A and B are shown apart, each in its own frame.
Chain A
Amino acid sequence: MTTLTDAAAAPAAVTDAARPPRRRRHRLAATVSRYRWMFLLLLPGIVYFALFRFWPMYGAQIAFRNYIPFLGIEGSEWVGMQHFEDFFTNPDFPRLLANTLILAALSLFIAFPLTIVLALVLNELRLQILKRTVQTLVYIPHFLSWTVVVSLTGLLFAVGSGPLWTLLNGVLGSDANFLTDPTWFRPLILLQDVWKNTGWGTIIFLAALAGVDQEQYEAAIIDGAGRWDRVWHITLPSIRPTIIIMLILQTGQILNTGFEQIYLMSNALNRTVADVFDTYVYFVGIQQGAYSYSTAVGLAKAIVGLILIFGTNWLAKRFNQQGIF
């Protein structure tokens, strides 16, 4: 949730900067003294961000150096954009980009809307006990680690013995090995993603749904609106700001396909579609100790993410929607 806190802190800074400079200092001092206890409460947060988010950025400069731990960050040779060039001209780059974007698109266009759909369905349940039970049940997969999810998948799709392997091949009349067949890699990843994260993702939408004015529904019912009309004309417009914000945050994460899941699901036979930026950084950086190069890749990814956030935000504002800043 750090992204949310981050976003919430930003507007204050923006409005402050917009004020005329001379009055600002005076007013700032007054504000600080007036709300000193509030600022004290804020302090741990500031320390956290300074220590764990901003201070490490000092180390990001190794992306522009040939970092050798023994020589230290500043002692290592400065090579400028060399690592970025190597990365973008790498013959593997187009494949990595395509794989990453396809997985991201699946997540954005299928998994993300499913979260909203599930939240709406849950919201329509009138029996409270049923609603709460279902809610709890759909949260559970979120707490399983990827290792467990992948092991389960391995058992369910095991060649010759997995129940889903038997079922799917029976239905499709095929003899596929889903775990190694490259064409099945993306559907499996999406399936795991949906199974594990959809339920948990509904929380924020359910919270937004709880805030919708009930009187509107009552009025709509009197006007003769059916269930679909109410969802379409009241519920969805009411949670639109939440959807937009979540969408903006999602697009910022587009290049982060998640390392563990992909790494655990990939094998020699599906690697052509399974190689993404995150696994690439692992192989190059962690396994080979090419810290500078992998930091460059990580930094490039982060910059793309930042541009996407601002871009989506700008688009949202263009269409008269509320952005996050």
Chain B
Amino acid sequence: MKTRRLAPLAMLAAGSLALAACGGGNGDGDGGAGGEGEALDSLTIMAPYFAAVPPESDDPVGTALSELAGVPIDVRWVPNSDYGERTNVVLAGDDIPDVMVISGKDQSFVSTAEAGGFWDLTDHLASGEYPNLVAENPEVQEAASVNGRVYGVYRARDVIRTCVILRADWLENLGLDLPETTDDLREIARAFTEDDPDGNGKNDTYGLIAPQWPGGIGTASPYDAIEVWHGAGNVWRDEGGELVPAFTTDEWRQALEYERDLVQSGYINPDFATMDPATWNEPFLNGEGGIIIDVQSRAAQLAELFREQDPENYDQYVALAGQLEGPNGTYALPTAGYAGFLAIPRSNVQTEEQLHQVLAILDKLNSTEAQILMNNGIEGDNFTVEDGFAVYDESKQDFTDQVTGAWAQLGMNVAGYEGYSPKPQTEYDEQLAQLRLDLQAEDLENAVFNPAASLVSETYMSTGTQLDNIIGDARIQYIAGQIDEAGVDAAIQRWRDTGGDQVTAEINELYAQLD
């Protein structure tokens, strides 16, 4: 007999919601709102944490933030892995916090916002009354909005992260330069595969390392990067005032051809469709593959891993290049620029006065002082400042981890990051950090933003994952040689038939209203 462990998932979901509704009643009073129209005497915030344990209620950072804010701040920490689920459970209950970190514009957030569950902050933020909440990058605030309406203060992230990481020692051995164009990259991938870059006389290396990518298209995968470099646009492309999906462009097909050539020539790991992304670093470290297209922070991570292996020469292994010039011009792939936002549910914050108060507190939480507290900790306790950098006390590492793994998640930094960066340990670390900043500045000029980032199509909300998977799967099937061009056409047709055409129509309608 087979014991089926999984009851139908939906029933489970329904069950947990019902249980949560049962448990909703025993809340310890509504942390925030005293009553109708009165000023808030405390502020409850729901936020995710990555740290091993969340901060206690008497945490020094929390105490200091409460002092800054003028009211006690009570944070309800939820493990990041459960956060999306908890958000829905909390919204369904009657113990809703004053401020919630919302991790993305998913269906339940958008429908709640449109049903009036969250304050529309568009005009309040534009008023300039809260200087620390005025976005440094207005296009990011726009991207984080729902069809132009801003429902939250976004949590800012680096706009440029994608880069090409290469084995510096292999380039050196073969006398090759850093790649500047996509053709250079192909040549390097070929040389890394065929010209014995590690000089051991064996044919045991390949070029590009690509893992199985969770999610379909527009998820900053190596394939997305290559397609943007070819000029296919970022998810959507504006063609004469009309938005078309990037994958319907000729440039996308050209990029697909390029990717297929890499695969068919054997310049990529043979298990690119199934490799566990958690093991992405290993082939690079072990000298099996020599190129990774991913976020810049992976370069620092790899350098650190090489330091453990080879402390003497660890600075000889990792090379970094930014966007590559494609056959049709120079384009860079940016991130969305934000990771969720802090939204204000209307359940507890009921009047404009209360909203004003909450926004004023959020404004204070974005001050330099608060940013240092949330990102670095307590100066003189777990860190000291040297030359404008934070130097952490190793004996207080647990506390520091808790700061960066929990409090930092509350940080919005929309008006610019003002906390301290950790002091680079060596000259190489400093160079690498500087190189990353230089590449960011350079790539930002050529960044291709998704013109539909702020647009929320109803059809996409309900079927987007499948639609994205159709194209994402077809892409992998094509470059693996499983289907031909007609197969890609068929997949695009399937995309159109299962809701894609409707999404395009809805997006264009919203796009027309935007201007």
Contact = CB atoms under 8 A, between A and B. Distances in A.
A299 B8 CA distance: 8
B473 A250 contact: no
Contact of B18 (A56, A249, A268): A56
B18 A55 contact: yes
A285 B92 contact: no
A70 interface: yes
B250 interface: no
Interface residues of B, number: 51
Contacts of A91: 494, 497-498
Nearest to B89: A69
B17 A59 contact: yes
A289 interface: yes
B13 interface: yes
A120 interface: no
Contact of B8 (A246, A271, A298): A298
A220 interface: no
B473 A268 contact: yes
Nearest to A157: B274
A250 B466 contact: no
Contacts of B19: 56
Contact of B465 (A154, A253, A288): A288
Contacts of A281: 8-10
Given A58-B18, A269-B273, A298-B10, A250 B91 contact: no
B455 to A, nearest CB: 17
A228 interface: no
Interface in A288-325: 288-291, 293-299, 301-302
Interface stretch (A17-25, A37-45, A193-201): A193-201
Contacts of A256: 4, 6, 8
A179 B466 contact: no
A111 B14 CA distance: 32
A47 to B, nearest CB: 14
B477 A60 contact: no
Contacts of A239: none
B188 to A, nearest CB: 22
A324 to B, nearest CB: 14
Contact of B466 (A1, A92, A291): A92
A179 B271 contact: yes
Contacts of A204: 1
Nearest to B15: A56
Contacts of A288: 106-107, 461-465
Given A69-B112, A90-B498, A297 B270 contact: no
Contacts of A73: 17, 92
B6 A267 contact: no
Nearest to A197: B2
B108 interface: yes
Interface in B435-468: 461-466
B11 interface: yes
A269 B482 contact: yes
A246 B3 CA distance: 11
Interface string B257-286: 000000000000011011010000000000
A172 interface: no
Contact of A59 (B18, B107, B466, B476): B18
Contact of A69 (B92, B497, B498): B92
Contacts of B14: 56, 59-60, 62, 291, 295
Given A62-B14, A154-B274, 7 more contacts: A1-B3, A68-B111, A258-B4, A268-B476, A271-B469, A298-B11, A302-B11
Interface of A: 1, 52, 55-56, 58-60, 62-63, 66, 68-73, 90-92, 107, 111-112, 115, 154, 158-160, 177, 179-180, 193, 197, 200-201, 204, 246, 249-250, 253, 256, 258-260, 267-269, 271-272, 278, 281-291, 293-299, 301-302
Q: Would you list the 9 A-B pairs with minimal beta carbon distance, nearest first?
A: A298-B10, A59-B14, A56-B15, A268-B476, A298-B8, A69-B92, A70-B112, A295-B10, A289-B107
